[in-house]
Amino acid sequence: MRLTKAASVGALTAVALLVAGCSSNDGSSSGGDAAAGACEPSDGAVELTFTTWIPGIEEVVDVWNEANADIQVTVQTGPNGNGGTYQNFFNQLKAGNAPDLGQIEYDALPNFRVQDGLTDLGACADVLAAQGDFVDWTWDQVSFGENGHAYAIPQDAGPMALFYRADLFEANGIAVPTTWAEYAAAAEKVKAAGGHITNFSQSDVNQFAGLVWQAGGTWFSNDGDEWGVGLAGEESTQVAEYWQDLIDRDLVSSVPPWTSEWDNAYNTGAAWTWVSAVWGANSISSGAPDTAGKWAVAPMPQWEAGDDAAGNWGGSSTAVFKGSEHVYEASKFALWLNTSDEALTLLNKGANLYPATKAGAALPALAEGVEFYGGQAIYDVFAEASTQVPAGFTWGPTMTQVYADVSDGFKGAVSGSGTLLASLESAQGSTISTLESQSIPVAK
């Protein structure tokens, strides 16, 4: 299995290069489509295809299909985006048989944008009218900050907070940290009590990105012509130095995330907190079943006492692909899927998705106390966090490469060779050269 996977990843990369190479040839035709992107209803009954990897999505689509006899949606599910579905989207766009709708995570949207795979829904009045329904920063992710444009509809969000072992903090007389300075101080006490305050994610760089996001930084910027790269910007540097210090003092562990070893650290009480997104609630309850009832959730620690910023980790959108002949109907379905109470409730129940709409935070299912967290209504914390995520964090068009390069460096840093900051600086260079090799203009 391992060999197959390695081989397929290699091949995927090769394919990605191939497709990237091919598509830059016909990139010249991209400009004219904006004007042609009308959003008119089609005559007669319409059939749409929708590719996603949301578990239990069939049930949600059935509800739509029953109520909308003339817009029937066929749903197809498969591996997650980076597991192959994104590459399939690119292949399909090239072959001209992409589905009408597809799920794309926020961090992959710029890639599809650069490859000219997305329909601008700015021509659809309903879509623009719905802007106010969504939490501001999620809209910012799909509009790339351009007024009157929307390249996808926000689906879910991953606002971050602090999961912590309430019982251990109390038994050891440690106050729940509200600032990062307090968090570092608490880490020393936790260490003295024989644990690690948390695990530094060496291979899932998204968590680190979420921390930079909270600090108000951004890794990329786009002024419409050129991409700016700022992996080692001011906020990034601040976050990197903070965690480097904790790693140097052995106050955090560095087990690879999402492994059974990592689960076990939480299950046995070796790790006491986790700064994670709303969906992390499920990861803990399933990975550490022996600790039921002992966890609680608090807002993320802040850089300055009294601040109230949160990070975001994950989240995805529903996009309409170039080539869809039924943009109006597709956007209608995407809006229903991501704003209606019935769809959001089902998505939350079946797939644990946290809505990207303002009203979604008030779903009855999200108001209940959660037994695993000692009955705390944890989603209240995330509802507040969601509104506190700064707008303006921008992803780049080559995130797969960025993640790979940064995590390579991080893996070295946690084992003592190099530093987190040095990894970011070196990824800065490799990212710029990757962008340039794909003929994507980079701001100097």
Binding site for another protein (CB under 8 A): 1, 4, 7-8, 11, 14-15, 18-19, 51, 53, 55, 76-80, 82-84, 87-88, 91-92, 94-97, 99, 258, 260, 263-264, 267-268, 279, 282-283, 286-290, 351-352
State the nearest-atom distance from the C-beta of 125 to another protein, in Å.
31
Strand arrangement, sheet containing 71-77: 71-77, 46-52, 101-105, 316-320, 153-154
The residue among 99 and 154 lying less far from another protein, judged by its C-beta, is 99
Determine the Cα–Cα distance for residues 169 and 151; give it in Å rounded to an integer: 45
What's the token pair of residue 406? 């940064």
Residue 91 in contact with residue 375, Cβ under 8 Å?
no
Min dist CB 112 to another protein, Å, is 17
H or E stretch at 435: helix 420-437
Q: How far apart are CB 237 and another protein at their closest, in Å?
A: 29
Looking only at the bridges linking them, the beta strands covering 160-165 and 101-105 are: unpaired
On whether the CB atoms of residues 359 and 133 are closer than 8 A, the answer is yes
Nearer to another protein, 111 or 283 (CB): 283
Q: Which is nearer to another protein, 87 or 198 (CB)?
A: 87
| Closer Cβ to another protein, 14 or 367, answer by number | 14
Q: What 3-state class would DSSP assign to 72?
A: strand
Helix segments in 68-132, DSSP class H: 85-95, 109-114, 125-129
C-beta neighbour count of 102 within 10 angstroms: 28
Least separation in angstroms between residue 172's CB and another protein is 23
Instruction: Please report how close the Cβ of residue 57 comes to another protein at its closest, in angstroms.
Output: 11
**Strand-pair partners of 222:** 227
Q: Which of 395, 316, 319 is nearest to 354 (CA)?
A: 316
| Closer of 152 and 288 to another protein (Cβ) | 288
Q: Which is nearer to another protein, 220 or 379 (CB)?
A: 379
Give 279 or 333: the residue with its C-beta nearer to another protein.
279
Structure token pair of residue 275:
């700064």
Quick one: 145 or 350, whose CB is closer to another protein? 350
Least distance to another protein, CB of residue 181, Å: 31
| Phi, psi for 39 (deg, rounded to 5) | -130, 70
Q: How far apart are CA 265 and CA 255, in angstroms?
A: 9
Q: How far is the CB of 9 from another protein (least distance, A)?
A: 10
Q: What are phi and psi of 223, to 5 degrees?
A: -100, 15
Contact predicate 209/240, CB 8 Å: no
Residue 379: CB minimum distance to another protein, A:
17
- The smaller minimum CB distance to another protein, of residues 352 and 387, is found at 352
Tokens of 76: 């197809």
Q: Are 114 and 23 in contact (CB under 8 A)?
A: no
Side-chain half-sphere exposure of 303, counting CA atoms within 13 A:
17
What is the closest distance, in whole angstroms, from the C-beta atom of residue 50 to another protein in the complex?
A: 10
